[in-house]
């Protein structure tokens, strides 16, 4: 294994995010490199106030190293809020591996990555994310015992997208109750952007509930799989076409930044509730949604089912126990909408306040160590 070293000072924009901006406050960021395997990775720990940081490993061909670090910072911060709102005894962390997984992912690279995670001594617990899968976590676990999302054959919980989608559906039901008075999507038209890991499970929940479903995905085979199984599902060319389609609910379930100024202006849906992380392209989008009368379910609350599933693995995985906890996402989402209405703020701001309150209470409850003299 090569070195694990602090973030250098060359990337001023990243350092500003880390040390200066309101989006910073991370406890630790490490850069990991193993030249023999081609591994380049970033592990970001935003907070361990509630316990060891828990978050997935994203394997993605970033345009630059700085972009990769920035993504790790954003994603790890989101995990702190997600884990707090999910009621878990975990802080927030995230790792990114730089490169195209279809080109450079090897067993030896994953083993090297596992050694870097192990070097943190349990401060970070990893799992699957975009570009990594259950079989990858089985490999990572061979050099790092702080690994979740493994296969059932290896003592794990399996595919965490199962409860991620279930949690999205629970949040969507809560949004329907708030917006239309009933916790069901029956008779509503729901547009899903991204029908991969999570999105295809979400389609199943919605069809069962009686919703009309419209989908799109950058991968034609993903769309074909859905329409072959459910001929009643409609497909459109891309996300731009989807947001302009008459919808009741828009569900971004691909990569982040889905809600930018142009998208918000074009949306026909009056509810936004999807699985993607970091959906708001920039601060202020949440207010624009509220000003248009669009009810936004905060993404890190909506998609918490997966982290609930992998966290349960650390205690000897029990699917029914994890599903029961994920069912509570319905109540959490309703509480956020109620808090938003009471405080006169967008739901995203209400969720942040509740999460920050829990983290602050956790920090305050830890006795301060006596100062060294």
Q: Which residues of the chain form beta strands (DSSP E)?
A: 4-6, 28-34, 39-47, 53-54, 57-60, 91-98, 124-125, 189-193, 212-216, 234-235, 249-252, 271-272, 295-296
Q: Which residue has the higher pLDDT, 21 or 361?
A: 361
Confidence of residue 74 (pLDDT cuts 50, 70, 90): confident
Q: How far apart are CA 365 and CA 373, in angstroms?
A: 24
Query: Which range is least confidently modeled, 9-13, 53-57, 303-307, 329-333?
Result: 9-13
Q: What is the mean pLDDT of residues 80-106?
A: 97
Q: How far apart are CA 70 and CA 65, in angstroms?
A: 9
Q: How far apart are CA 333 and CA 170, in angstroms?
A: 8
Helices 199-209 and 220-229 pack at an angle, to 10 degrees, of 30
Residue 99 has pLDDT above 60, yes or no: yes
40 among known catalytic residues: no
**Contact at 8 Å (CB) between 147 and 140?**
yes
Q: What is the pLDDT of residue 364?
A: 85
Q: At 25, is the secondary structure helix, strand, or coil?
A: coil
Q: What is the pLDDT of residue 369?
A: 40
Q: What is the pLDDT of residue 276?
A: 92
Residue 130 has pLDDT above 90, yes or no: no
Residue 202 has pLDDT above 70, yes or no: yes
**Contact at 8 Å (CB) between 35 and 106?**
no
Q: What share of the chain is helix, strand, coil (3-state, %, to 5)?
A: 45, 15, 40
- Structure letter (DSSP) for residue 22: T
With vertex at residue 94, the alpha carbon angle to CA 92 and CA 98, rounded to the nearest 5 degrees, is 170
**Contact at 8 Å (CB) between 276 and 285?**
no
Confidence of residue 22 (pLDDT cuts 50, 70, 90): low
Q: How far apart are CA 329 and CA 182, in angstroms?
A: 16
**Contact at 8 Å (CB) between 264 and 285?**
yes
Catalytic residue among 40, 94, 105, 197: 94
**Contact at 8 Å (CB) between 315 and 329?**
no
Residue that is written with structure tokens 């956020």 in the block: 336
Residue 77 has pLDDT above 70, yes or no: yes
- Structure letter (DSSP) for residue 195: -
Q: How far apart are CA 142 and CA 363, in angstroms?
A: 33
Confidence of residue 171 (pLDDT cuts 50, 70, 90): very high
Interval 271-321: pLDDT, tens? 999 999 889 999 999 999 999 999 999 999 999 999 999 999 999 999 999
With vertex at residue 213, the alpha carbon angle to CA 208 and CA 214, rounded to the nearest 5 degrees, is 160
Interval 205-253: pLDDT, tens? 999 999 999 999 999 999 999 999 999 999 999 999 999 999 999 999 9
Q: What is the mean pLDDT of residues 119-144?
A: 96
Q: What is the pLDDT of residue 102?
A: 96
**Contact at 8 Å (CB) between 130 and 105?**
no
Q: How far apart are CA 111 and CA 136, in angstroms?
A: 9
Q: What is the pLDDT of residue 20?
A: 65
Pairing of strands 28-34, 234-235: unpaired
Q: How far apart are CA 206 and CA 214, in angstroms?
A: 11
Q: Which residues of 39-179 form beta strands (DSSP E)?
A: 39-47, 53-54, 57-60, 91-98, 124-125
Q: At 13, is the secondary structure helix, strand, or coil?
A: helix
Q: What is the pLDDT of residue 3?
A: 44
Q: What is the mean pLDDT of residues 103-112?
A: 98
Q: What is the pLDDT of residue 118?
A: 98
- Structure letter (DSSP) for residue 133: -
**What number of H helices and E strands is found in the chain?**
16, 13
């Amino acid at each position: 294994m090569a070195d694990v070293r602090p973030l250098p000072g060359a990337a001023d924009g990243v350092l500003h995010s880390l040390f200066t901006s309101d989006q910073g406050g991370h406890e630790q960021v490490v850069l990991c490199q193993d030249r023999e395997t081609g591994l380049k990775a970033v592990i970001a720990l935003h907070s361990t106030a509630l316990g060891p940081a828990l978050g997935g490993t994203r394997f993605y061909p970033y345009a630059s190293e700085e972009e990769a670090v920035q993504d790790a910072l954003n994603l790890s911060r989101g995990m702190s809020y997600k884990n707090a709102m999910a009621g878990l005894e975990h802080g927030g962390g995230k790792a990114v591996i730089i490169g195209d997984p279809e080109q450079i992912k090897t067993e030896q690279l994953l083993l090297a990555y596992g050694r870097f995670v192990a070097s943190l001594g349990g401060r970070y617990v990893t799992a699957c994310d975009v570009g990594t899968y259950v079989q990858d976590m089985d490999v990572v676990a061979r050099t790092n015992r702080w690994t979740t999302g493994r296969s059932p054959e290896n003592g794990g919980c399996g595919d965490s997208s199962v409860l991620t989608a279930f949690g999205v559906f629970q949040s969507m039901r809560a949004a329907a109750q708030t917006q239309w008075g009933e916790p069901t999507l029956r008779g509503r038209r729901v547009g899903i952007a991204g029908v991969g890991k999570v999105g295809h499970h979400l389609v199943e929940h919605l069809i069962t509930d009686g919703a009309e479903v419209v989908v799109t995905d950058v991968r034609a085979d993903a769309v074909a799989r859905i329409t072959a199984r459910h001929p009643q599902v409609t497909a459109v060319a891309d996300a731009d076409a989807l947001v302009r389609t008459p919808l009741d609910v828009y569900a971004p379930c691909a990569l982040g930044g889905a809600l930018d100024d142009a998208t918000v202006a074009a949306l026909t849906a009056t509810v936004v509730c999807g699985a993607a992380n970091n959906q708001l392209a920039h601060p202020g989008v949440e207010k624009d949604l509220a000003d248009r009368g669009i009810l936004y379910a905060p993404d890190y609350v909506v998609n918490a089912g997966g982290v609930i599933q992998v966290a349960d693995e650390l205690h000897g995985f029990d699917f029914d126990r994890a599903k029961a906890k994920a069912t509570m996402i319905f109540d959490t989402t309703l509480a956020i909408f109620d808090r938003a209405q009471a405080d006169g703020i967008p739901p995203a701001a209400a969720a942040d306040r509740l999460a920050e309150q829990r983290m602050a209470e956790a920090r305050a409850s830890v006795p301060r160590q006596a100062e060294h003299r």
